[in-house]
Amino acid sequence: METKGDDEIWLIKFYAPWCTFCKQLDPVWHQIGSEFRSLGSPVHVGKSDATANTGLAKEFRVKTYPAILMLKKNVKYNYSGARTKEGIMDFANRIAGPLVRSLSSVQLFQHAMSRHDVMFVYVGATSPLKGNYTSVAEELIVQTYFFSATRDILPKAVSLASLPAVVVFKDGTYFTYSEERDGDLKSWINRERFPTFSQIDSYTLYAMGETGKLVLLALVEEKHLCEQSLRYKSLVENVAAEHRETYTRNMYFGFMAGSDYINGLVMGEVIIPSFIVVNLSNDGYFLPPGAVETERHLLDFLDGVLDGSVESHGGNGVVQRVRRLVYETRITLTPIFSQAPLLGCFLVGFPLAIGACFCYLCCKARPTIGGDDDDDCLPLLVPSLQGPKKTSKKKSD
């Protein structure tokens, strides 16, 4: 931090020596550093022991390990995606490049389209809309790419009522931003930065939850989908495509392989295949009140979620947080007790024994008034309770 140049770009991993996830990331981190170096990238790759360099960790607001951050022109960008080589390198390349990338030819436009599932493009000359677009890019470059192009670069099938315009290309089609219809540009981009239907992992689900929208999931097997799983997945995909205008402002659509993450959310075992609507803004969820066999059943379920007629479960209230703590403790300790009962008893019994001893010592050390100490206290108390003594002189012979 003291010797780096003003234009240097750094990709930094903050770790703790005892962190298992940090150790698992080490081989990936070395691959990333080697690849950036071989490509001649301007990105410098480093790592810092957050337990030793506490001041640096505090400056970067490191709270969990491993923490991955980019530093560019004294602006810090936090990476919250999957800990994979591809995901981290894509993040680094996105931050290291220009905020808004110019597409100067049809070939470049087609190349960008082939690489990105969702692509935002500003079309037109300099304008207040472009200034607003650039400002949004400064905040959301962590999540997605931003491009600009002239009208003649776009495919002829793209019809724009007027210029300048902001267009999002996804799902094999495109949608044009309208302030009157879509509201704030930043909010619109934040809502539209995911495909209408896609496979969703825990990182993507968390990012979707940050936008405030609900997520409809078809939970299916991780491998070898059964016939019912395929049908559930197809139902969600059809609803996403055919009823986009009805639900896209409030909801994302996708499928998730496996149910481990959702099991933790609902604090129980979720049947696969099944449907669930997740609200990660408050850790809530909705389950269908009955069997969902047709598209009509699924639409009724979604309408019930939006109008409040379907009961919401979970949440982040005090009682729910206590239940979640108990559940997570039980999930953590159950494998230990099953594989090493003595170790499990020690892990549970030792803190309880320490707590019991502490309570006992506190109670024993507490001062008491009464009992055997009354005689010692009485001389001190009596003078303060009685008035001053009157003395009289006696005459003596």
**19 is an active site residue:** yes
pLDDT in tens for each of the 397 residues of the chain? 777 777 889 999 999 998 888 999 999 999 999 999 998 899 999 999 999 988 888 888 888 889 999 999 888 899 988 889 999 999 999 999 999 999 999 999 999 999 999 999 999 999 999 999 999 999 899 989 999 999 999 998 999 989 999 999 998 899 999 999 889 999 999 989 999 899 998 888 988 888 889 999 999 998 889 999 999 999 999 999 999 889 988 899 999 999 888 988 888 889 999 999 999 888 899 999 999 999 999 999 999 999 999 999 988 788 777 877 776 676 666 665 566 666 657 666 767 778 778 787 788 776 654 544 444 444 444 444 444 444 444 444 4
* Candidates 19, 226, 357, 377; catalytic one: 19
Residue type, 69: L
Which residue matches tokens 């009685």? Answer: 386
- pLDDT at position 338: 63
Q: From CA 278, how far away is CA 215, in angstroms rounded?
A: 5
- pLDDT at position 331: 65
Q: From CA 132, how far away is CA 147, in angstroms rounded?
A: 14
Q: From CA 292, how far away is CA 274, in angstroms rounded?
A: 9
What CATH number does domain 197-316 carry, 3.40.50.1000, 3.40.30.10, 3.40.50.1820, 3.20.20.140?
3.40.30.10
DSSP run (H or E) holding 197: strand 197-199
Burial class (CB in 10 A: 0-12, 13-18, 19+), 32: buried
What interhelical angle do 318-339 and 341-365 show, nearest 10?
Answer: 130
Q: Do 307 and 251 form a contact (C-beta atoms < 8 A)?
A: no
Taking Cα atoms as reference points, which of 224, 202, 231, 220 lies closest to residue 257?
220
Q: From CA 147, how far away is CA 167, in angstroms rounded?
A: 10
Backbone angles phi, psi at 228, to 5 degrees: -70, -35
**22 is an active site residue:** yes
Q: From CA 69, how far away is CA 91, in angstroms rounded?
A: 10
The CA distances from residue 294 to 299, 301, 308, 350, in Å, are: 9, 11, 21, 54
- Who's near 101: CB < 8 A, 6+ residues apart? 112, 145, 146, 147, 148
- pLDDT at position 149: 95
- Strand pairing report for 173-176 and 165-170: antiparallel
Tokens of 138: 């400064």
- pLDDT at position 81: 84
Which residues is 75 bridged to in the sheet?
72
CATH code of domain 101-192 = 3.40.30.10
Tokens of 28: 């990936």
Q: From CA 298, how far away is CA 302, in angstroms rounded?
A: 6
- pLDDT at position 245: 85
- pLDDT at position 367: 61
Q: From CA 235, how far away is CA 299, in angstroms rounded?
A: 10
CATH code of domain 9-96 = 3.40.30.10
* Candidates 22, 226, 357, 363; catalytic one: 22
- pLDDT at position 318: 81
Q: From CA 58, how far away is CA 353, in angstroms rounded?
A: 35
The contacts found for 201-204 with CB under 8 angstroms, 24 or more apart, are 201/82, 201/256, 202/261, 203/80, 203/81, 203/82, 204/254
